[in-house]
Amino acid sequence: MDTMQGMPKTYRVRTELEAILERLEEGDAVPSERELAARFEVARETVRQALRELLVQGRIRRQGRGTVVSRPKMVQPLSLRSYTEGAISLGRKPGRILIGWDDVEADADTAATLGVSVGAVIMHLERVLLADGEKVGLESTFMTLERFGPLRSHYDPTTSLYAAMRASGVVFGSATERIETVLASPREAALLECTTTLPMILLHRRTIDAAGDPIERVRSLYRGDRMAFETHLRE
Amino acid sequence: MDTMQGMPKTYRVRTELEAILERLEEGDAVPSERELAARFEVARETVRQALRELLVQGRIRRQGRGTVVSRPKMVQPLSLRSYTEGAISLGRKPGRILIGWDDVEADADTAATLGVSVGAVIMHLERVLLADGEKVGLESTFMTLERFGPLRSHYDPTTSLYAAMRASGVVFGSATERIETVLASPREAALLECTTTLPMILLHRRTIDAAGDPIERVRSLYRGDRMAFETHLRE
């Protein structure tokens, strides 16, 4: 029996390619399409498809005229911890770039989440998330002025928001998180320095404190080639 | 202050468009680009971008020469329940199309998950997942012959696999699930009747029973315009 008999050819080629990548270091050149096609005894189009999949998955990246091995994706646990804590626990240096911290009027959805009336003035904090200096996500946080307006006097938005909230006495309770996939808009792609054809992970979070009062509504967009999430499920 | 002042224009247009869609029924025609651009007093390109985003999100779909309102995405809780139970709880009729149920040799990753040696013969069950007859996902399950070979004599693969496993005495324990986003390969896109430019949600699951013994390794690919997932996070 052939290895992986009955599996689509691309899947077999991708699996074997992954085994080759395992033995290479970050930044090493990936063998050429021609060489791989000869080695696996398949058509170049089959190799090209497998390489395309590995590219979207962030396992390899283009560099100049060639293709090199990338760093593995960051796999964050789905949790109530902040991005900062998550990145640190994975051995990455977290960072943020402030895009804007503005007053906006609440739309229906945000108003319902934050417990204010539609059109009420709330805060919108928008930041690019960094891991070891690399732009991996774009985060929009909506909060009420009433509860979090005072942060404006002392909070540095390039640091952890959750840490600042906790320091101001907030006790986190729970959150619901919806996970979707989308393409980046041109503006989002520009902020994250990626293309609009790269699939992104979109998380919508609604967080309440231990007393059940609303803390925030968050929309986080992560580069699909740089981030993945993991969770543990129990019966 | 203008509504949503400080927000990117596309975001405002999308929010207002969503409000319009809320008032329409599934299958209703979406107003034309020209009409929307006039109503919102923005460039047609801004409307086009917002419509493109709603299309990828599955909120609208092309029909003939026009665009109509789609059914909302199916939002499944991330849980150890089967696809069948999840779909039923959302009021959708689950179904499956068998693509293949073959013997394959285990690659390194699958072998480690299932506790067999690399190259050992295992079963690969591949099915398209349906919701009300619509193709929403493609699921690959890997199981050992030793434990689940007997299913071949009586299990109908167009029904719930978890129900059959439970009936044969399996007690589910827990699973780790990794969530990623990818583009569909040409084969996957053909099986799901979508394009290779549509972002997909990819779930990798490793399930063990109550005694800690491996049950399965699963790779599930869901259409990003038809499915989303939700989870509840606690401090």
Question: What ipTM was reported for this prediction?
Answer: 0.86
Is the pLDDT at B4 greater than 70? The verdict is: no
Q: Which of B10, B52, B176 sits opposite A230 (nearest CB)?
A: B176
Taking the domain B74-230, which CATH number applies? 3.40.1410.10
Q: Tokens standing for B102?
A: 């073959």
Q: Which of A107, A124, A186 sits opposite B6 (nearest CB)?
A: A124
Q: Please give the average per-residue pLDDT across B144-172, as a whole number.
A: 96
**What is the arithmetic mean of pLDDT over B36-62?**
88
Interface of A with B in 108-147 (CB under 8 A): 108, 119, 121, 124
Class of the CATH domain delimited by B9-69: mainly alpha
B143, B122 in Cβ contact below 8 A? yes
Is residue A100's pLDDT more than 50?
yes
Nearest-Cα distance to chain B for A54, in Å, is 9
Mean pLDDT of B197-213: 95
pLDDT at A6: 46
**What is the pLDDT, as a whole number, of residue B7?**
58
What angle is formed at CA B142 by the lines to CA B136 and CA B143, rounded to 5 degrees?
A: 130
Question: Residue A168: phi, psi to the nearest 5?
Answer: -90, 10
Q: Which residues pair with A60 in a beta bridge?
A: A69
* Residues A33-90 pLDDT 10s: 999 999 999 999 889 888 888 888 888 988 888 899 988 889 999 998 888 888 998 8
Rounded Cα–Cα distance for residues B107 and A8 (Å)? 14
3-state SS, residue A152 = helix
- Over residues B80-99, the mean pLDDT reads 91
In chain A, % of residues over pLDDT 70: 97
Check whether B19 has a pLDDT greater than 70.
yes
Q: CA A31: distance to chain centroid?
A: 29
Q: Do A235 and B102 touch (CB under 8 A)?
A: no
What global pTM score does this model have?
A: 0.86
Q: Taking the CA atoms of A95, A100, A101 and A107 in sequence, report the sign of the dihedral they define.
A: negative
Token look-up 């849980």 returns B79
Pick the closest to residue A111 from A217, A10, A203 (CA basis).
Answer: A217
Dump pLDDT digits (tens) for B65-84: 889 998 888 999 999 888 88
Q: Which long-range contacts (CB under 8 A, 24 or more apart) does B24-32 make?
A: B24/B69, B25/B69, B26/B68, B26/B69, B26/B70, B26/B71, B27/B68, B27/B69, B28/B68, B28/B69, B29/B66, B29/B67, B29/B68, B30/B60, B30/B66, B30/B67, B30/B68, B30/B69
Kindly list the residues from chain B whose CB atom is less than 8 angstroms away from the CB atom of residue A199.
181-183, 199-200, 224
Q: Quote the CA–CA distance of B75 and A183 in Å, as a whole number.
A: 19
Residue B1 is predicted with a pLDDT of 37
B12, B18, B136, B181, best to mutate vs chain A, most A CBs in 10 Å: B181
Distance from CA of A219 to the nearest CA of B (A): 12
CA distance A135 to A95: 9
Phi-psi label, residue A9: left if phi above 0, alpha if psi -120 to 50, beta otherwise = alpha
- Who among A2, A183, A233 is closest to B175 (CB)? A233
A156-198 pLDDT, tens per residue? 999 999 999 999 999 999 999 999 999 888 899 999 999 888 8
Partner residues linked to B228 by β-bridges = B75
DSSP output for A93-135: -EEEEEEEEEEEE--HHHHHHHT--TT-EEEEEEEEEEETTEE
Which stretch of A25-34, B31-40, B47-56 has the lowest confidence by average pLDDT? B47-56
Q: Which two tokens stand for residue B134?
A: 């619509």
> In the prediction, which pLDDT does B8 show?
67
Q: How confident is the model at residue B52 (pLDDT cuts 50, 70, 90)?
A: confident
Indicate whether B215 pLDDT > 60: yes
Domain edges within chain A: 9-69, 74-230
All residues of chain A having their beta carbon less than 8 Å from the beta carbon of residue B176 are 230-233
